[in-house]
Chain A
């Protein structure tokens, strides 16, 4: 206990007098962060590099043939099964990120501008479901949307439908609903942060100069919160593409996504290099889609002003 404490208290004073401040600061900072950095390199950077390498290899039963080939990518990009799965996954993640952001914006706006003393409480209330098990949240949607589910019981109870319908579960919209719910909070936080950063005197100035609430919102608040909208979109869009639990539990045949195919390639009697190529392709394509969405949002924000 004594040694680290001594190090913390005494060293900076001594070092600062001897060395150029910056150099010693840089060395100490890098030294301190290196264990965590090395961990991330070993368990994140190297694995991802290895996946990329694997995607150019071939598997012969249990051995890996390390001669360079583009065959896996040819399959990943041209096989209609994978192409359809990828397109569907992209479409689902685009829909989900659109809905989460649109639903999250007003709530972030409310907390930031009208939260008053209870800002912290509101944020806490909203983040709690997101920390809880994602598997359980998906499961509860299965209970709600199912044939004997809550939704059917409610609709029948209200006299809107006569018998239970199986139209709610096991399709793409069930996946979209479940994912929108699962990622809701994730979108609120970045938008909230960007709204908090807006200088309130700008909004007041617009009011004083005669802008009504709607105009004021469209011309000041919305464009200035574009960075928050962008990060919310990214933080939802990229991980959603790689989800395999939701499609498996509520997606049925029409809701299968690319991650289910990736998972299958890494399961029993499967093809790692093909799975790796599918992973790399998915990452590349979703990054491209995310980048173009960012570009569109930026352009829209500039247009409005």
Chain B
């Protein structure tokens, strides 16, 4: 029996490592070819260069797209986090009729084919006579960021013990003091990770942006446009590498913030119990 138990994890562990390699391997080629001197991505590598990165800063269309992405990302993450806070607070704290249905509706963009969501929003915008712009992209991104914000915030708020707030006010802290010293520190990690996660989603999102933008491109839309030209590929690879690195850094910060917070609330719970 013992041998069997040890045996199972060993092949499973090998599988797990292979799986992680399968997940990461394709992505690793982007940075590798982005510093290769050859204009076509192929082996053997011909030499090391940063010139593709240098070219990026000299492309005005690209800097415009980066600025657009930043604007859209910040607005979408702020809005989706505010909407997420309202919904997550309501769902974790109150019982009300239709709670599960509304939750299901808010999570629906996650499981619907994105093209159908995008196309239906496009139809509404056009039939309302709204002109397509970065604002319509923000509307679309908020809709698809809400499920992520909501799940991050719901799990953050679930650990929230309301009696701590009551205790604070019973012990003579003012309402503002309670909010600042008790409520905020406990929910802020979830809020920060919701902001970071939804910013990353918006930064990388392509389909909604493709359908809902007018003449202004976000970074993924810009990349899509460049993919038609074989000569532009190294630049796209360099840009892709930067996007990838940016996303990974933001997500790691989000995870660290979230994890620190959950450790702390667990310890506090232990202390109180």
A-to-B contact residues, CB < 8 Å: 1-2, 4-6, 8-10, 22, 25-30, 32-37, 39-40, 43-48, 50-51, 54, 103, 106-107, 109-111, 114, 120, 122, 124-126, 128-129, 131-137, 139-141, 143-144, 146, 148-150, 153-154, 157, 181, 184-185, 207, 212-213, 234-235, 238-245, 249, 259, 262-263, 266, 272, 275-276, 279, 282-283, 286
Contact = CB atoms under 8 A, between A and B. Distances in A.
Given A133-B220, A213-B8, A150 B15 contact: no
11 contacts: A29-B94, A33-B86, A36-B86, A40-B143, A114-B12, A114-B13, A131-B251, A132-B27, A133-B240, A136-B204, A283-B116
Interface of B: 1, 4-5, 8-9, 12-13, 15-16, 19-20, 22-24, 26-27, 29-30, 33, 40-44, 83-84, 86-87, 89-91, 93-99, 102, 105-106, 108-117, 119-124, 127, 139-140, 142-143, 146, 150, 165-166, 169, 175-176, 178-180, 183, 197, 200-201, 203-204, 206-207, 211, 220, 223-224, 227, 236-237, 240, 243-244, 247-248, 251, 255, 259
B243 to A, nearest CB: 6
A28 to B, nearest CB: 6
The 5 A-B pairs of least Cβ separation, nearest first, read A242-B113, A29-B94, A5-B179, A29-B96, A47-B120
Contacts of A131: 197, 200-201, 204, 247, 251
A43 B95 CA distance: 25
Nearest to A259: B115
B105 A37 contact: yes
A135 B197 CA distance: 18
Contacts of A139: 30, 223, 227, 236, 240
Contacts of B90: 28-30, 32-33
Contact of B29 (A47, A103, A143): A143
A185 B95 contact: no
B120 A51 contact: yes
Nearest to A157: B43
Nearest to A125: B20
Nearest to A186: B110
Q: Which of B30, B96, B119, B140 has the most CB of A within 10 A?
A: B119
Given A50-B124, A181-B26, A1 B95 contact: no
